[in-house]
Structure formats: structure tokens, C-alpha cells
Structure 1
Amino acid sequence: MATQFGFLPSWPLQASPSLWVAVALIAAVLVGELFAKTGWLPRMTGYVLTGLAAGPGMLAVVGGSTSTEWRVIIELALGILLFELGTRVNLRWLMTNRWLVVSSLLEASLSFATVYLILRYFGTREAIAATAATIAMATSPSVVMRIAAELRAQGQVTERLMLHTALNTIYAAVGVNLMVGVLHHEFRGSLVEAVVYPAYLLCGSVLAGAGFALVFRRLERWLGDHEEVLSFLLLGMIALTVSVSAMLRVPPLLPLLLAGIVVRQIRGRPLVYPPHFGSAGAVLIIVMFVVSGMSIPMDQLARGAAVAAALVCGRVLAKIVGVTAIARPSGASWRQAAALGVALAPMSGVALLLTLDTATLFPEFGASVMSALLGAIVVLELAGPVMTFAALKLAGEHHR
């Protein structure tokens, strides 16, 4: 009898890893839509919450971790968002209104100083506290871009939010590269590596970003205004940049942001392709939020809960104070400045990758500091999108 029905599956059924990935994605989309129907919660919160609920155990079931296959997905999705963000940055606006630069520098500096002082108060070593504070300057580009796209937001607050987010990402990425040199000198005792390694990372990032922009611009002129073809081309070039950066051991995030900025300046106008370059990019973004939620080691968070709470409160307050202090000179109303300060709260993919990379390079980074940073990232990965969502709606710039 058994041979007659050999075509039937064995019992109990053996689920393939792809089944669990599909279940997680379906759950994330449904939870995201449930949140969206409330009118005051963004879809993204549902995606991240689903990932957190699934936990790191899901990654073990489906195979891989943030340092292998899944990291590529996070970097590729972040690369799409960072390039898109870069194309929204208008450097001519910065030249016309220098107070925007002052506002950005003040907000980032206050964020750095606040986080640094909090960590020093809790006994963290100077170099480690400075590195963590540099990471904390970053506003999540993935959250900002997704919320702006979801709300179809347009206006002064939205444009300033894009600008501040891009600049904060540059400050954090460049700053961490420089701090790597300091950490090399402190923990490895190598002065040569302390100088050469950051220089290699920065030069590699600038060259990769400029090369990407110039090649894309030439291909764009050759192909003409074929939106679909150019979207596919961009996705391919972003994937290529992520892969080449991995081979060269240069983080791909800064090159792709710089590439977007250079493309915008060469073209003189922003790209008008679909958000995230079509449905393929949009799917990658959803996967990134789910996987980033899964990637948080929840077992480490309890150890740094008190410090994380202090970091979250101090960082959010610093960003609000930083932008409101320069509100009038920069041409913004108090309401717009307050909304901008709140909207800058999210901390997600970029901060997560910078934290994990630094901890991998330097185990001396310490479990307590890493737990505090990861705790702050979790809180602001969940609360941050809601804050940005509410801020843009209160500013009256949503058109959903």
C-alpha cells in the first residue's frame, strides 16, 4: 500500500525555509495595512513589529543572519532609499540659505553631545562613547523616505527633513569611519592603521559614489527618457555597488548617498521615477523592515534598558532644540521647526548596521554599550515612524 501512494508527502510535513519567509511577509503586510487603517499609525510600524515578534529565531530557521544573506538584502534596500534620498538634496538651496547648514550642524552636534555625556555618566570609555554618539547622530533614511512616500508629503518641513536626514547620515558615516581610526589606535596600538584605514574608507566611498553618478548619467543620456528601463538600470547599478563595496570592504551606504547627491547636481533636477524605483524596490523595502526587526538580539536589550531610555529622551530633545533654535533665521516658523525636530527622531537601518559593524571590528565596544544602542534603535524603530508620521500630518504636508 505504501508503494502505491509513494507520491504523497511524508508525515509530519517538512516546511521549507521559503514557507516561513512567505508567512512572515504576509503577516507583515497584513499588520501594516491594519495599522494604516487607523489613520495615525504608519504601515512601517507593522512591518518592524512583525519582525520583532518573529525574532532572531526566525533567521535561524530560514538560514543566514544579518552578517550573511540577510545583510545583503538590508544593504540593497537601504542603498535604494539612500540613493533616492540623495537625489532629493538640493545643494543650491544650502548655498542660498546658509542657516540650513547651521541648523543641521547644531542639531547633529547637540545629539552627539547629549548621547556622549549620557554614556560618559554611565561610565563608558571616551572613545567608545564618542563612537556611539556619532552613530546616534543619524536619522533613519529608510523611515523618512517611506513615511514621506506613504503620506505623499510635500512642503518646507518635508524638504528640510530630507536635507537634515541626508546630512545626518553623512555626518554619522564619515564620523564612524574617523572613529574607527581612533579605536584602532586605542585598542590595537597601530598608528599607521589608525590613519590609513579611515582614509581608505572615505576615499573609497567618495570614488565609488562619484563613479556611480558619472556612469549613470552617461547611460541615462544614451537611453533617453525610458522610465521603466532606467528604474531597472538603477536597481542593477545599486546591487552592483553593494556587491563591489563588499569585495573592497567599504560600507556601501555612504557611496550610494553621495551618488544620489552628485546625480541631482549634474542633472539640475530630481529624478521623477516611481518611489523606490517600482514594485521590485518596494518589496525589498518591506523585506528590509521585517528582517531588521528580526535582526535585533532581544536577549541583549534588558541589560541596557535604563541607558537606552536616557539616550532616546536626550537624543529626541536635542534634535528638537537644535532645529527650533535656528528656526527664524532659517526661514521656518516655530511650528514647522518643532515638527521637523520630532520628525528627525527615527533611528533604524543605518544605525543598526554601523553598530553591528563597529561591535564586530572591536569587541571592546562592550556588551553594555551595544545593548543600550540597540535598545534605543528598537524604541526609535517603533516610535520613530509614528513620530515622523504625526509630525508631517500636523505640519499639514500630507496628501494621502
Structure 2
Amino acid sequence: MPEFIPMSYQLAWPFAIAIAWVAGEFGYRLTGLPRISVYGLVGFLFGNLLAGVLPQSEVDTFMLLANIAFGLMLFEMGYRINLHWLRANPWIGVMGVVEAVATFVVVYFVAQWFGMAPLAALLLGSLAMSTSPAGVLRVLNEERSSGQVSERILHLSALNCVLAVFTFKVIVGIGVFQTSGSLLDAVWSSLVVLAVSAGLGALVGVSVPALLRRLGNLSRDATLAFAIAVILLVAVTHAFKFSPVLAALTFGLVARHRRVTLNQTQRNFGVMGDLLSVVLFFFVAATLDWRQVIDGMSLGLILLVARFAAKMIGVGVFARVSGVSWRKGLLTGLALAPLSVFVILMLEQTRRAGVDLVDSLMPLAAMALLLEVIGPIITQRALIWAQETPETPDKPHKPDTIKE
């Protein structure tokens, strides 16, 4: 009997992930809800009902897998960002900066109004700026959506991600300086981490296409080569405590503009990406503590309303000048709902660097749980209302590949 207990610990998480996948498939087929919302709900229940089951060494392994899954999605998102489109329509970039700054300011002042410490309110505001690329991309691919709203939420979520990482790292650097008094530690925790992460992503983004051209298998081997490169990049940045988020996003962006055609590359990186996405959304929700969720729920709900309002207004006011109707502008702002995966992985990376912020940001736990479940649903509804999914009569079925 004693030998059975360690074995049951080892089997608990694989069985739980299998249950999450089955629940996600049935949930999607019976209700039409995004699979990732169901993965998140199952993960939260598992993480709290069976807390402490997984040994810490295996938690670290799952965290690395979650970062790899997130890295693959960030690479795909970076690859789908079209800088030429942003130059042709600069109002998209202006829209992204304005709505991100508006979100930061609104969330900061609301948090301050309810008594949060200034540094905690700044950190909360910086994280609220973000839109999780993982949630957005999975819903876009699952729904096979295309159109103005789809393209805008892709570009805006990528811009939100970069701005949030930059702002968050700078504020963490200020916090480190206030705590330690060391300017070197503060600069290393913020600007150096950002510069090195982006530099590594750009270096890989140049090197891998060059290697594929040298091998002469540019189209045939693109999926495998880029997947391996993302895994290596995330592993290196994870081990040396840099930013896998910024590195993977930069990698995808540079690779696209090196003119590598990925006609044979499947969305989500095929079966491997689908498998890792189950792990990602399940594991991220499993890390949320129900006590922190309850303690931060009231303020978390208020901050969620403030965040939604800031993003919808910030995007909506630029709708007409950027070339779409007011309705599609507001739907774009609404579709920027997903938050949780980005936020939780950012906090975990910061904790590994020696700065634990979870206890001081309890409203964030409530926001993360709510948006882990309802964020993808809101994005899905916004795309359907914008008539950019194949279910609408005028939309053709899109092939399941990434194209230039």
C-alpha cells in the first residue's frame, strides 16, 4: 500500500490532463464553448481539490512545458503580425498604444482608490494592459475566423503584450531598487532582461531561416525546424531567467519578415501544439489558489469592468479613422478579453527571478480565473457577432495552415 501512494501521485496529473481534454472536447461539441475555457475550469478544480499532489520537481517540469506551449503560440502570433499593414494604417498602432495606456491608468487609479499600495497598483495596471496571445490565438484558430476584427485583435494583443512586458519589467526594477538599493540589480531585472530577450529572439529569427535556406528544405521542414527553435529559445530564456514571452514573439516577427513561407506549417503547430495547449491552460488555472480568488473577488470584478471599459473605448474611438465601423471597433475592444495565461506566466517568471508578487496582487487571481473561463468565450462571441467565423453564411472555410 505505501508503494501505491507515490505511484498515485505520479499518475494524478496525466489522468487530470486527459480528463481536461475529454471535458474540453465534449464541452465544445455540446455547447460550442471554446475548449480552453473548459481546460481552465478543470485545471482550477483539480489544483484546489488535490492541492499538493504533484511534487515540486514535477511542478517545475510542467511550468517549463507551459512556457514552451506559450512560446509556440507567441511565435505563431509574431509570424502573423504584418508590419507593412501597420505602416500603411498607422492608426492601428495609435489605437493599441492609447487603449493600453488608458487601461493602465484606469486600473491603477481604481486600485489606488480601493487602498492598494502604489507599487502593487502600478504592477496591477501594467498586467491589466495585456491581452493574452494564447487565448486570442487559440480562439481564432478554433473558429477559423478571418476579417478586420480578427486581424486587429491579433495585432493589438501582440502590441499589448510587448507594452505590458516592458512596463511590468520597469516597475519590477523600481521595486527591486526600493528593496535592495542596488541600481545594478534594478537595471538587470528590467532593461537588461528586455534587451537580451529581444536580442535572442531576433538572433534565432535570422539564423533559422538562413539554416533552412542552406539545407534547401525551406517549405518542407519549416514546421519542425521552427518548433525545435522555439523549444530551445524558451528553454534558454527560462533557465537564465530572461523573458520567454518577448523572445518568442520577436522570433516569430523576425522570421516572417525574413520572407520564410510557411505554407506547410499547421496552425497551433499541429498535434504537438494542441497537446501542449491542454497542458498550458490546465496548468495555469491549477496554480490559482481559491482563497486568493475569494479574497480578491470584489475588487477583481470592479477592475475587470474598468479594464473592459478602457479597452472598448480606447479602441472604439479610433474605429472610423482606422477604417472600420464603430460596431466593429467596439467588438475589437471586447475581443481583447483574455488575460490569464500571460499574467500567470509573467508572475511565475518574476517569482523565479526572486520577486514574489502573488500575495500582494490578490485581485489579479480573481481576474485571472474569471478571464481564464469567460475571456475566450467573450472573444468567440465578438468574432461571431462581427460575422468573421465560417458559421456565418458569407464566410468560406479557411485551410488550416499559416500563410504569408
TM-score normalised by L of structure 2: 0.90
Per-residue CA deviations over 1:127-179 (Å, capped at 9, x if unaligned) read: 22112211111101111111011001111111111000100110111111211
Correspondence for 1:390: 381
Asked if the contact 2:209–2:260 (Cα under 8 Å) also holds between the matched residues in 1, the reply is no
**Residues 183, 396 of structure 1: CA spacing in aligned structure 2 closer, same or farther, 3 A cutoff?**
same
Q: Match for 1:44 among 36, 41, 47? A: 36
Aligned pairs (5 A) from 1:1-400: 15-56=7-48, 58=50, 60-64=52-56, 68-225=60-217, 229-267=221-259, 273-358=265-350, 361-363=354-356, 365=357, 367=359, 369-399=360-390
Asked if the contact 1:115–1:311 (Cα under 8 Å) also holds between the matched residues in 2, the reply is yes
Query: How far apart, CA to CA, are the structure 1 residues paired with 2:6 and 2:310?
Result: 51
Query: How far apart, CA to CA, are the structure 1 residues paired with 2:319 and 2:72?
Result: 31
**Residues 284, 11 of structure 1: CA spacing in aligned structure 2 closer, same or farther, 3 A cutoff?**
closer
Asked if the contact 1:320–1:342 (Cα under 8 Å) also holds between the matched residues in 2, the reply is yes
For 2:383, the aligned partner's letter is: L
Structure 2: segments with no counterpart, 5+ residues: 392-404
Per-residue CA deviations over 1:21-68 (Å, capped at 9, x if unaligned) read: 332122212221222124541111111111111124646323337961
**Residues 81, 271 of structure 1: CA spacing in aligned structure 2 closer, same or farther, 3 A cutoff?**
farther
Q: How far 1:395 sits from its partner (Å)?
A: 0.8
Per-residue CA deviations over 1:311-351 (Å, capped at 9, x if unaligned) read: 11111111111110100001111121121111101112111
Query: How far apart, CA to CA, are the structure 1 residues paired with 2:45 and 2:250?
Result: 35
Per-residue CA deviations over 1:3-26 (Å, capped at 9, x if unaligned) read: xxxxxx999787444532332122
Q: How far 1:222 sits from its partner (Å)?
A: 2.7
Range that drifts further, 311-320 or 243-252? 243-252
Query: How far apart, CA to CA, are the structure 1 residues paired with 2:2 and 2:355?
Result: 47
Structure ID, larger Rg:
1
Range that drifts further, 197-206 or 250-259? 197-206
Q: How far 1:223 sits from its partner (Å)?
A: 3.6
**Residues 192, 394 of structure 1: CA spacing in aligned structure 2 closer, same or farther, 3 A cutoff?**
same
Query: How far apart, CA to CA, are the structure 1 residues paired with 2:253 and 2:3?
Result: 56
Query: How far apart, CA to CA, are the structure 2 residues paired with 1:94 and 1:170?
Result: 15
Q: Give the 3-state SS of the residue equivalent to 1:326 in structure 2.
A: coil
**Residues 22, 151 of structure 1: CA spacing in aligned structure 2 closer, same or farther, 3 A cutoff?**
same
Asked if the contact 2:64–2:238 (Cα under 8 Å) also holds between the matched residues in 1, the reply is no
Query: How far apart, CA to CA, are the structure 1 residues paired with 2:214 and 2:249?
Result: 23
Query: Taking every aligned residue pair, what percent have the same amino acid on both sides?
Result: 31
**Residues 26, 362 of structure 1: CA spacing in aligned structure 2 closer, same or farther, 3 A cutoff?**
closer
**Residues 358, 196 of structure 1: CA spacing in aligned structure 2 closer, same or farther, 3 A cutoff?**
closer
For 2:326, the aligned partner's letter is: W
**Residues 329, 24 of structure 1: CA spacing in aligned structure 2 closer, same or farther, 3 A cutoff?**
same
Query: How far apart, CA to CA, are the structure 1 residues paired with 2:358 and 2:42?
Result: 28
**Residues 242, 11 of structure 1: CA spacing in aligned structure 2 closer, same or farther, 3 A cutoff?**
closer
Q: How far 1:122 sits from its partner (Å)?
A: 1.6
For 1:239, the aligned partner's letter is: I
Asked if the contact 2:194–2:243 (Cα under 8 Å) also holds between the matched residues in 1, the reply is no
Query: How far apart, CA to CA, are the structure 1 residues paired with 2:4 and 2:94?
Result: 64
Range that drifts further, 275-284 or 320-329? 275-284
* CA RMSD, 1 decimal: 2.3
Query: How far apart, CA to CA, are the structure 2 residues paired with 1:40 and 1:175?
Result: 36
Query: How far apart, CA to CA, are the structure 2 residues paired with 1:145 and 1:107?
Result: 20
